[in-house]
Amino acid sequence: MISILNYNADPTGSADSSDALAAAIRGNASVLIPEGIYRIGKNMIIPESNLIAFEHGARLKPIAGVVITFNGSISAHKTDFIFDISEGGTVQGEPKEDVIYPRWFGAKVDSKTDDTAAYQAAGIMCGKSRLLYIASGSSVIRRPLTRFGRGAFGIGTFIDGNQMGSRIIFDPIDNKTDLQACFDVYYAGVLAVFRDFTVVGTVPYAKRYLERWVNKELFDQRKYEMFAVGSCAFRVSGGATPTFHNISTRAIKCGLLLDNNVGHITWKGCTWSGLIGVYCRKNNYDYYGERGSMTGEFCGLLIGLQGFSGTISNLHTGFSPYGVYQCMDGTPSAYSNGLSGQAIFWQFEQCGEAAIDLLPNSQTRAWYMNGIGFSWSVIDYSDQPGRWQSALPDSLKRPEEKQAYAARFGIIGDNVAFDSFSAILTKSPNPGGVASAYIDTVSASTSLVGLGTSTVIRRKVTPHYINRNVQQLIKDRSSRSQNKVAPSNLLLDSSIASNYTAQNNAVISKVSDSTSIPVPVSDEMRQVLGMRFSIFKVVGDGIKEPIVKLKFAGSPAQLDLSRYVTLSGFFLTDISHNGFLYRASGSPGIFLYSDAMNLPALTWTRITGVDGKFSDGKYNEIGFSFKAGSVSYFAGLMAAYDTVGTYSPSFAAYCDTDFEIGGSLIIRDTVTGARIRLSVTNGAIIQTPL
């Protein structure tokens, strides 16, 4: 190895050392650069055959416009400053190295000095086949980084002064461009990997003071523009398909922005935090998140009109007002995409407002979710040390309106299931709690067990109706209205008070004087139930919601596996009930849900629905509840096969008027099962065995 000083190089940086370096590499495979600054005034190419060794304190300094193309090997410590580009020169090429170090280009890593130029230069030298090293300590970056070869890695995420790790402080000069990224990943090599470092911003986002960054008026409209302009740690765009391992973000508007054209983005063991943990703006499918967390000060996962399609496994999205929140981030259309894919053991601990909150017109299809870990946060804030508090501030939502539902969905379509392997969603115990979940429309058979027992469904469009044309549907309804013989009511006799079970200290009584009811019987009730039917009154203890249950006849009843079951009934209450639920239960933890709707105060309301079936054919009971403190009434409860039929109070076929047969009547012997024809001839009843 020969020193360039042997060729009259100037270590003071006063004279041009280009010729000395050129002469050294021409005649020697290995060249030593001793301590000193060597000005390079001419373009240089370091061939692949050369090794350039830098002593501590040695550096090359190309002047403005000069390019050093480094294709050989480099021998230098990762903390040495060996390329001085402060005068506008460039060092590039394809060095025979696996890792490029920003300190080589003068990065200070002192949490104060702008290290952007050094990181950009190191990234350019990475090309598409090397890794960028994120130095131990804190590097300030003020402009987006776009070049980093096969990815970037550090020594570990920054935790505190004792476990410092590798940290990037992103403080962009441009503070008016929204979602400007520290790492703008579009040029990286295929399947680039980013691991073991932290990116932090400079904005102290906090749940308690969200009104500083969330506009109340636009929040009520669910528009993305509700959020103040801010930056993001990583933006994945174009054709990039990176993987992230043990990456941490905080104090930034968005940790990870999914914005590419091909999907296939993976993260494992990452801690995505900030105002928003992860934002899926472009949904191109096949995202995969495993372990770690998404815990934004507003939400863990923000999705736009394109929805989110991917797999979540053993991941925490709690300690936020929202786990998953959908906003309108473009021009609205009739429908938006919701969720698709699967989530296994997705945890929503200490949820402030909702675990999942999707747009009413969102369509969730091909989605499986199991193992929902869930708990509610308190709804207020205090200065008590160690208190867990993740609610929306009162400035964005009034206390009495908070935590209405643990989850809100728009349209639930084909191949959707919410199972309950470990836990389920629950209704909030706070004053604003209405139910465990709300679904605008169910358009296909589905399992909703994991959403909790008080799930509200506004509308249910079932396959039974979807697969039949309008002409046939009208014909069916006309046939039912003209046929006064009702099919069997599959429930115990709904006209007998003792058949009902009351819970939560509720009392059920049969109304003997219809004039005592605050609202007269409606014309619709007379048309559907006839002139003779029973009305029941329900009064609770004023504290708990009164619950009413009625078993199926022969409970658990073994019904026809091939036929749907439909519920119907009339309800009246003196306290309006948003999301009134009328449902059937089967085997433990399995339910069919009605067309739940709002019960207005002091109005007889007919509720029908379910049009579903249990796979094992076992039906246990129907049930419903009213608001605590209400005085409520119900009448005409019925469960029938197939569709809503003519009312019958009992399990036997029923007719509320005279029933005439023109021929004979065939009955079966209850012991032998023999069939016998009964006929009347000249006034005599004749029995004829068949």
pLDDT-above-90 percentage for the chain? 68
Return the minimum-mean-pLDDT range out of 149-163, 283-297, 408-422.
149-163
User: How far is it, in rounded angstroms, from Cα 541 to Cα 544?
Assistant: 6
Q: Is 639 in contact with 491 (CB distance < 8 Å)? A: yes
Residue 671 gets which letter from DSSP?
Answer: T
Q: At a CB cut-off of 8 Å and minimum separation 6, what does 101 contact?
A: 78, 79, 122, 133, 135
Q: How many CB atoms lie within 10 A of CB 321?
A: 27
Reported as a single tens digit per residue, the pLDDT across 196-211 is 999 999 999 999 999 9
Return the minimum-mean-pLDDT range out of 405-414, 609-618, 675-684.
609-618
Return the minimum-mean-pLDDT range out of 79-83, 311-315, 509-513, 604-608.
604-608
What was the pLDDT predicted at 197?
Answer: 96
Q: Is the pLDDT at 271 greater than 80, yes or no?
A: yes
Q: How many CB atoms lie within 10 A of CB 435?
A: 25
Return the minimum-mean-pLDDT range out of 119-128, 154-163, 274-283.
154-163
Q: Is 491 in contact with 637 (CB distance < 8 Å)? A: yes
What was the pLDDT predicted at 615?
Answer: 79
Q: What angle do CA 275, 265, 236 make, to 5 degrees?
A: 60
Q: Is 380 in contact with 419 (CB distance < 8 Å)? A: no
Q: CATH topology for 107-460?
A: Pectate Lyase C-like (2.160.20)
Q: Is 75 in contact with 31 (CB distance < 8 Å)? A: no
For the chain, which residues make up each domain, given as ranges? 1-97, 107-460, 485-641, 661-690
Q: What are phi and psi of 645, to 5 degrees?
A: -110, -175
Q: At a CB cut-off of 8 Å and minimum separation 6, what does 10 contact?
A: 16, 17, 20, 36, 38, 39
Nearest CA-CA partner of 102 in 117, 87, 89: 117
What was the pLDDT predicted at 514?
Answer: 87
Q: At a CB cut-off of 8 Å and minimum separation 6, what does 298 contact?
A: 205, 207, 210, 213, 214, 227, 275, 276, 320, 321, 322, 325
Under the banding of pLDDT at 50, 70 and 90, the label for residue 475 is very low
| Sequence-ordered strand ranges (E) for 547-630 | 547-551, 557-558, 565-573, 577-580, 582-585, 591-593, 597-599, 605-612, 618-619, 621-625
The tokens describing 441, both together, are: 């429309």
- Quote the radius of gyration of the chain (alpha carbons, Å): 36
HEC letters along 265-313: EEEECCEEEEEEEEEECCCCCCEEEECCEEEEEEEEEEECCCCEEEEEE
On the CB side of 56, how many CA atoms lie within 13 Å of its CA? 2
The tokens describing 151, both together, are: 């990815």
Bridge partners, 624 (sequence order): 548, 582
On the CB side of 98, how many CA atoms lie within 13 Å of its CA? 1
Mean pLDDT, range 661-669, rounded to an integer: 82
Q: Which amino acid is at 568?
A: S
How many residues are given for the chain? 690
Under the banding of pLDDT at 50, 70 and 90, the label for residue 469 is very low
Q: Name which residue leads in pLDDT, 555 or 143.
A: 143
Mean pLDDT, range 461-475, rounded to an integer: 46
Sign of the Cα pseudo-torsion (213, 215, 220, 223, in order): negative
CA 619 to chain centre: 32
Q: Is the pLDDT at 640 greater than 90, yes or no?
A: no
Q: Which amino acid is at 463?
A: P
What was the pLDDT predicted at 555?
Answer: 76
pLDDT-above-70 percentage for the chain? 90
Q: Is 244 in contact with 194 (CB distance < 8 Å)? A: yes
HEC letters along 46-67: ECCCCEEEECCCEEEEECCCCE
Residue 684 gets which letter from DSSP?
Answer: E
Q: Which residue has the tokens 């496994």?
A: 313
Examine domains 107-460 and 485-641 and report if their fold is the same. no
User: How far is it, in rounded angstroms, from Cα 389 to Cα 321?
Assistant: 9
Reported as a single tens digit per residue, the pLDDT across 351-394 is 999 999 999 999 999 999 988 889 999 999 999 999 999 999 99
Under the banding of pLDDT at 50, 70 and 90, the label for residue 187 is low
What was the pLDDT predicted at 162?
Answer: 58
Q: Is the pLDDT at 140 greater than 90, yes or no?
A: yes
What was the pLDDT predicted at 474?
Answer: 46
Return the minimum-mean-pLDDT range out of 314-318, 579-583, 626-630, 643-647.
643-647
What was the pLDDT predicted at 477?
Answer: 47
What was the pLDDT predicted at 362?
Answer: 96
Residue 267 gets which letter from DSSP?
Answer: E
3-state secondary structure (DSSP) of residue 69: strand
What was the pLDDT predicted at 656?
Answer: 62
Average pLDDT, the chain: 89
Q: At a CB cut-off of 8 Å and minimum separation 6, what does 670 contact?
A: none
3-state secondary structure (DSSP) of residue 291: coil
Q: Is 539 in contact with 631 (CB distance < 8 Å)? A: yes
Q: What are phi and psi of 124, to 5 degrees?
A: -65, -45
Mean pLDDT, range 29-36, rounded to an integer: 97
Mean pLDDT, range 43-64, rounded to an integer: 97
Q: Is the pLDDT at 610 greater than 70, yes or no?
A: no
Domain 485-641 has CATH 3.40.50.300: no
Nearest CA-CA partner of 592 in 569, 570, 555, 621: 621
Q: Is 351 in contact with 299 (CB distance < 8 Å)? A: no
Nearest CA-CA partner of 539 in 529, 531, 547: 547
3-state secondary structure (DSSP) of residue 184: strand
User: How far is it, in rounded angstroms, from Cα 650 to Cα 648?
Assistant: 6
Q: Which residue has the tokens 């905080």?
A: 250
pTM over 0.85: no
What was the pLDDT predicted at 561?
Answer: 81
What was the pLDDT predicted at 188?
Answer: 63
User: How far is it, in rounded angstroms, from Cα 16 to Cα 11?
Assistant: 10
Nearest CA-CA partner of 235 in 202, 269, 199: 199
Q: Is 637 in contact with 650 (CB distance < 8 Å)? A: no
Under the banding of pLDDT at 50, 70 and 90, the label for residue 560 is confident
H/E element, 125: helix 116-126
Q: Is the pLDDT at 252 greater than 90, yes or no?
A: yes
The tokens describing 183, both together, are: 């790492």
CA 447 to chain centre: 18
Return the minimum-mean-pLDDT range out of 164-168, 262-266, 573-577, 598-602.
598-602
What was the pLDDT predicted at 139?
Answer: 97
The tokens describing 482, both together, are: 């003209």
The tokens describing 510, both together, are: 């049969």
What was the pLDDT predicted at 60?
Answer: 98
